[in-house]
Amino acid sequence: MLRFCLTLALIFAFHPPTPASAVTSSANANPASVSIAAAANLIYVLEALNPAFRAAHPEITVTTALGASGTFVAQIKNGAPYDVFLSADLDYPRALIAAGQADAPTLTPFANGRLVLWTTRADLPLTDLAATLRDPAVKKLALAQPATAPYGRAAQETLAQLNLGRAAQPKIVFGENIAQTAQFIESGHADAGFVALSLVLAPTLKNRGRWLEVPATLYAPLTQGAILTTRGAANPAALRYLAFLQSASARTILARFGYAPPTPATP
Summarised one tens digit per residue, pLDDT across range 109-150 is: 999 999 999 999 999 999 999 999 999 999 999 999 999 999
- Tell me whether residue 151 is in a domain: yes
Kindly state whether residues 87 and 134 are assigned to the same domain: no
| Amino acid at site 101 | Q
- Tell me whether residue 10 is in a domain: no
Q: How confident is the model at residue 102 (pLDDT cuts 50, 70, 90)?
A: very high
> What predicted TM-score, i.e. pTM, was given to this entire model?
0.85
Question: What residue numbers bound the domain in which 232 lies?
Answer: 20-112+221-256
- Give the Cα separation of 245 and 124 in Å (integer): 38
- Tell me whether residue 64 is in a domain: yes
- Tell me whether residue 234 is in a domain: yes
Kindly state whether residues 179 and 208 are assigned to the same domain: yes
User: Is the confidence at residue 25, as pLDDT, over 50?
Assistant: no
Number of residues in the chain: 267
* Antiparallel, parallel or unpaired: β 210-213 and 115-119: antiparallel
Count of structural domains, the chain: 2
Distances (CA, A) of 123 to 30, 42, 120, 177, 193: 53, 29, 9, 27, 15
Kindly state whether residues 167 and 201 are assigned to the same domain: yes
Kindly state whether residues 138 and 233 are assigned to the same domain: no
- Tell me whether residue 181 is in a domain: yes
Kindly state whether residues 230 and 101 are assigned to the same domain: yes
- Give the Cα separation of 267 and 264 in Å (integer): 10
